[in-house]
């Protein structure tokens, strides 16, 4: 039986099914293109002498043409399912496929519509099938595809708004991630790393915060308190290194950081690797059944107003971390494995090997201090000593110090404020006084809080602060730095 007979039979079956189910959804999934439909009343073209169509049994049809419409399930690629994909090199006549009843029972079955001239290599077919199953065509991950709980994305560039939003997060574990801008210079040279520009946080209720730190006067207090809270698990991939970068950039000492790869090695008995750090893309593929797309967004400009692609990228990172965490908890419960998150906790300790800040250092992310605000001058200036007295002896608020130390602050009309100094300038005055006179007492924890009031001041004065911190010098009343933050 020629191929024209098969196509003719196929057209007949399709036409019959369309007439039977005209008022309902069709069972035929049209994948096309198909040959043009022929008139069922007319005989199909044939070569040589053949019997009439009514005397010839119809051949089994491939399930591809009679499969019910496939509805994508969560974790499955859209479009064709695996059982719909024809295997390369196999016969299209499947023994399990639905058949059309023959018109006459006394007619011999015709040969399959397609014949192989060479024996089929089953070993190659099996190898091809295994390869497809090991590297499936997974759908792209998007937080928008999830509804339990329904995710909400909030993007903010305001310090006060960030503090309010963080205060509204659901108590419990949160996903944490950061982004920063990278400059690629000449070939062979390491890329220049700038300060953290974006921090993403997501809670188990579905709220995702994308906070653009770049452009803020200071790191939001509530966000810093959340990151440093030892009672709140922060979930992520390579999260300890993210915590170390936050310390380099802002002096933040992140606590209770949970590495998802290490958690997977314990919660999932089928895990093939015991590595503690596994890429987020691989974890997403394994535990969410989707592909986490990265592309060139990762190395884009995170200091400019964020685009929709950047927002989606940032949200997908933290949302997928939470979905992986939930899946690992379910796997542990299925296998009766008790997970103690306290066993996976890691924290950032003060690093005294931070590279120095210079015009060529990879960590330099702010402008070099000018002559007025430069912190390397060892000569004690009157305004520096006065700033120190305001800060240490009087415990004066920063806003008031900015006015009192201003040259025009004293000449203003009574009841009004003169021109204020910048917060970074006041911080530089105080640090310069401590550098000029090593006998001036201070508490390292209070100094750290002071410097963190300005986003750029930590990087500017970090090298000296860490040298003092390491040597435990200048801590008021004792040689040991008991007042240093833990």
H or E element that contains 322: helix 308-334
Give the separation between CA 333 and CA 268, rounded to whole angstroms. 10
111 found inside a domain: yes
Mean pLDDT for 24-42 is 41
Per-residue model confidence as pLDDT tens digits over 208-229: 999 999 999 999 999 999 999 9
Please give the distance of CA 224 from its chain centroid, rounded to a whole number.
20
For residue 399, give every residue at least 6 positions away whose Cβ sits within 8 Å of its Cβ, in sequence order, or none.
420
In a domain, residue 39? The reply is: yes
Assess whether 306 and 445 both reside in one domain: no
For residue 130, pLDDT over 90 is answered with no
Q: Which of 36-45, 69-78, 403-412 has the highest mean pLDDT?
A: 403-412
User: What local confidence, expressed as pLDDT, does residue 350 receive?
Assistant: 83
pLDDT of the residue at 12: 66
Domain that holds residue 296: 143-346
Average pLDDT value for residue range 162-174 = 96
Instruction: Please tell me which residue, 433 or 104, carries the higher pLDDT value.
Output: 433
Q: Considering the domain boundaries, does residue 43 fall inside one? A: yes
Between 81 and 253, name the one with better pLDDT.
253
- Please check whether residues 206 and 61 belong to one and the same domain: no
Task: Kindly tell me if the per-residue pLDDT of 390 is higher than 70.
Answer: yes
Verify that 301 and 335 share a domain, yes or no: yes
**How far apart (Å, rounded) are the C-alpha atoms in residues 2 and 49?**
12
Kindly state the percentage of the chain with pLDDT values over 90: 48
Most confident stretch, 127-131, 164-168, 438-442:
164-168
Q: Nearest CA to 231 among 253, 260, 259, 256?
A: 256
Under the banding of pLDDT at 50, 70 and 90, the label for residue 392 is very high
Bigger pLDDT: 196 vs 373: 196
pLDDT for residue 484: 44
29 lies in the same domain as 112:
yes
Report pLDDT for 417.
Answer: 52
Residues 336 and 222 in one domain: yes
- pLDDT for res 178: 97
3-class SS of residue 216: coil
For residue 363, being part of any structural domain is answered with no
Whole-angstrom Cα distance, residue 5 to residue 46? 8
The pLDDT score that the predictor gives to residue 113 is 43
Mean per-residue pLDDT for 81-93? Answer: 39
Candidates 222, 215, 259; CA nearest to 239 is 259
Residue closest to 337 by CA, chosen among 272, 271, 276, 283: 271
Please choose, from the candidates 264, 258, 144, the residue with its C-alpha nearest in 3D space to the C-alpha of residue 206: 144
Q: Are residues 130 and 187 in the same domain?
A: no
Say whether pLDDT at 86 is over 70.
no
Q: Is residue 57 part of a domain?
A: yes
In a domain, 459, yes or no: yes
Q: What is the phi-psi region of residue 128: left when phi exceeds 0, alpha when psi lies from -120 to 50, beta otherwise?
A: alpha
* Average pLDDT of the residues in 75-96: 40
**CATH assignment of the domain containing 268:** 3.30.420.10
pLDDT(382) > 80: yes
Q: pLDDT tier at 343 (50, 70, 90 boundaries)?
A: confident
Check if the beta carbon of residue 68 is closer than 8 Å to that of residue 29: yes
pLDDT of residue 197: 97
What is the overall mean pLDDT for the chain? 74
**Structural domain tally of the chain?**
3
Yes or no: say if 207 and 217 are a contact pair by the CB < 8 Å rule.
no
Distances (CA, A) of 258 to 179, 272, 310, 343, 344: 18, 20, 25, 9, 6
**Does 351 map to a domain?**
no
Which pLDDT tens digit goes with each residue over 132-154? 344 468 999 999 999 989 999 99
Structural domain contains residue 148 = yes
**Residue partners of 275: CB distance under 8 A and separation at least 6:** 261, 265
Q: Which of 328, 346, 364 is the last residue of a domain?
A: 346
Span 325-329, average pLDDT = 95
pLDDT digit string (tens) for 283-298? Answer: 999 999 999 988 889 8
pLDDT of residue 413: 44
211: tokens are: 């906070």
Question: Residue 167: which of 196, 199, 207, 215 has the closest Cα?
Answer: 207
Write down which residue in 135, 158, 187 finishes a domain: 135
Question: Range with the lowest mean pLDDT among 30-39, 251-260, 316-325, 439-448?
Answer: 30-39
Going by C-beta distance under 8 Å and a sequence separation of 6 or more, which residues neighbour residue 377?
A: 432, 436
Q: Give the tokens for residue 328.
A: 């690992």
Does 113 share its domain with 155? Answer: no
Let me know whether 162 and 276 are in one domain: yes
Query: Do 66 and 106 share a domain, yes or no?
Result: yes
Quote the longest CA-to-CA distance of the chain: 116
Average pLDDT over residues 233-252: 95
Q: In the prediction, which pLDDT does 303 show?
A: 96
Domain-terminating residue out of 319, 346, 373:
346
148 and 130 part of one domain? no
- Calpha distance 111→1 (Å, rounded): 7
Assign 352 a pLDDT band (cuts: 50, 70, 90).
low
Most confident of the following: 41-50, 249-258, 402-411: 249-258
Write down the pLDDT at residue 215. 94
The pLDDT score that the predictor gives to residue 329 is 94
Q: What DSSP assignment string belongs to 56-113?
A: SPPPPPPHHHHPPPP-PPTTS-SSS-GGGSPPTTS-SS-TTS--PPPS-TTSPPPPPS
Q: Which of 93-107, 367-381, 418-432, 437-451 has the lowest mean pLDDT?
A: 93-107
Between the CA of residue 250 and those of 167, 276, 278, 474, what are the distances in Å? 20, 27, 27, 21
Unique residue bearing structure tokens 């810093």: 224
* Pair (211, 339) in one structural domain: yes
Q: Which two tokens stand for residue 109?
A: 């079955």
pLDDT at residue 257 in the model: 97
Residue of 102 and 431 predicted with greater confidence: 431
Whether 104 and 147 map to the same domain: the answer is no
């Amino acid at each position: 039986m020629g191929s024209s007979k098969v196509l003719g039979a196929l057209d007949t079956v399709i036409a019959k099914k369309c007439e039977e189910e005209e008022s309902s959804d069709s069972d035929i999934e049209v994948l096309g293109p198909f040959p043009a439909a022929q008139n069922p009343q007319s005989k199909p073209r044939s070569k040589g002498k053949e019997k009439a169509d009514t005397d010839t049994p119809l051949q089994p049809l491939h399930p591809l043409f009679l499969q019910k419409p496939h509805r994508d399930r969560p974790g499955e690629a859209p479009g064709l399912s695996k059982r719909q994909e024809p295997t390369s090199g196999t016969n299209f006549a499947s023994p399990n496929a639905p058949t059309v009843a023959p018109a006459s029972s006394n007619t011999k079955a015709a040969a399959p519509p397609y014949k192989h001239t060479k024996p089929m290599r089953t070993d190659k077919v099996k190898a091809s099938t295994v390869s497809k199953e090991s590297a499936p065509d997974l759908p792209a991950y998007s937080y928008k595809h999830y509804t339990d709980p329904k995710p909400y994305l909030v993007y903010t560039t305001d310090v006060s708004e960030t503090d309010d939003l963080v205060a509204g997060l659901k108590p419990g574990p949160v996903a944490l991630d950061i982004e920063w801008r990278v400059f690629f210079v000449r070939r062979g040279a390491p890329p220049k790393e700038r300060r953290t520009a974006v921090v993403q946080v997501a809670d188990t209720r579905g709220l995702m915060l994308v906070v653009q730190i770049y452009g803020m006067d200071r790191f939001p207090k509530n966000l810093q308190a959340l990151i440093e809270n030892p009672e709140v698990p922060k979930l992520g991939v390579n999260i300890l290194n993210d915590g170390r970068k936050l310390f380099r950039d802002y002096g933040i000492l992140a606590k209770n950081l949970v590495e998802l790869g290490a958690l997977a090695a314990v919660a999932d008995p089928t895990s093939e690797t015991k590595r503690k750090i596994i890429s987020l893309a691989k974890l997403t593929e394994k535990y969410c059944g989707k592909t986490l797309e990265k592309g060139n967004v990762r190395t884009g400009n995170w200091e400019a107003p964020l685009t929709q692609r950047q927002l989606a990228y940032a949200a997908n990172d933290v949302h997928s971390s939470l979905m992986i965490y939930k899946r690992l908890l379910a796997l542990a419960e299925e296998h009766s494995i008790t997970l103690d998150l306290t066993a996976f906790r890691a924290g950032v300790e003060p690093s005294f090997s931070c590279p120095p800040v210079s015009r060529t250092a990879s960590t330099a992310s702010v402008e070099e201090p000018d002559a007025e605000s430069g912190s390397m001058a060892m000569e004690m200036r009157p305004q520096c000593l006065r700033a120190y007295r305001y800060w240490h002896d009087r415990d004066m608020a920063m806003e008031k110090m900015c006015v009192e130390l201003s040259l025009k602050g004293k000449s203003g009309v009574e009841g009004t404020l003169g021109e204020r100094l910048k917060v970074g300038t006041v911080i530089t005055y105080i640090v310069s006084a401590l550098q000029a006179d090593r006998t001036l007492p201070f508490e390292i924890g209070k100094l750290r809080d002071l410097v963190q009031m300005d986003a750029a001041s930590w990087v500017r004065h970090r090298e000296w602060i860490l040298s003092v911190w390491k040597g435990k010098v200048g801590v008021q009343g004792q040689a040991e730095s008991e007042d240093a933050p833990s």
